[in-house]
Amino acid sequence: MPLRLRHPRWLAPVTLVLSVLGLADAAYLTFEHYSGSSSLACSDSGAVDCLKVTTSQWSSVAGVPVALLGLLFFVGMTALCLPPVWRRTTPGLDAVRIGAAGVGLLMVFYLLWAEFLKIHAICLWCTGVHVITFVLFFALLFGQILRVPVDDVASAPEPAAGDTQHVE
């Protein structure tokens, strides 16, 4: 008989909170991008210089602002981390979440390369997005590894609404 596994209980709420925080941060950066960054709440001199980063040539990829790419990424991640989606047993959904977060992490590496080696400044709001993406990716990865057999928790209290059961 195949072994039925479920994610740890912390995974659904943690990933949803991270995704919503990332969404808010990316939405702010996108708003600032399209409004000329005139009201960007950040230092504008020295190593922390948001304006220098958000108006640099690396703030767009193939003409698309990275702030907008970040916003789209977190819209997708928020949708994937909603409780009803966590409850789904669709095959491959975990792989899609981890894969998407992995792509996000690669983008973070590209942006860190640009900030540290090309622009020589960092943007606090962008760093917020980077940290959230990093934590989100590894939370999903650890959550995947720490799945437990349903039988092991049969004697435990009733599972939370976000708990998922998968078949391995």
Binding site for other proteins (CB under 8 A): 3, 45-47, 49, 52, 55-56, 105, 109, 112-113, 115-117, 119-121, 134, 138, 141-142, 145-146, 149
Give the C-alpha separation, 79 to 75, whole Å: 6
Give the C-alpha separation, 114 to 26, whole Å: 18
- Residue 106: other Cβ atoms inside 10 A: 12
Q: Are the C-beta atoms of residues 163 and 89 closer than 8 Å to each other?
A: no
* Least CB distance to other proteins at residue 112 (A): 5
- Looking at the Cβ atoms of 119 and 132, the one nearer to other proteins is 119
Q: Are the C-beta atoms of residues 53 and 126 closer than 8 Å to each other?
A: yes
- Looking at the Cβ atoms of 82 and 135, the one nearer to other proteins is 135
* Least CB distance to other proteins at residue 161 (A): 25
Give the C-alpha separation, 158 to 8, whole Å: 13
* Least CB distance to other proteins at residue 37 (A): 13
- Looking at the Cβ atoms of 71 and 104, the one nearer to other proteins is 104
Give the C-alpha separation, 147 to 26, whole Å: 30
* Least CB distance to other proteins at residue 56 (A): 6
* Least CB distance to other proteins at residue 14 (A): 16
- Looking at the Cβ atoms of 32 and 49, the one nearer to other proteins is 49
- Looking at the Cβ atoms of 95 and 146, the one nearer to other proteins is 146
Which whole-number Å values give the CA distances from 57 to 43, 117, 133, in the listed order?
Answer: 19, 13, 22
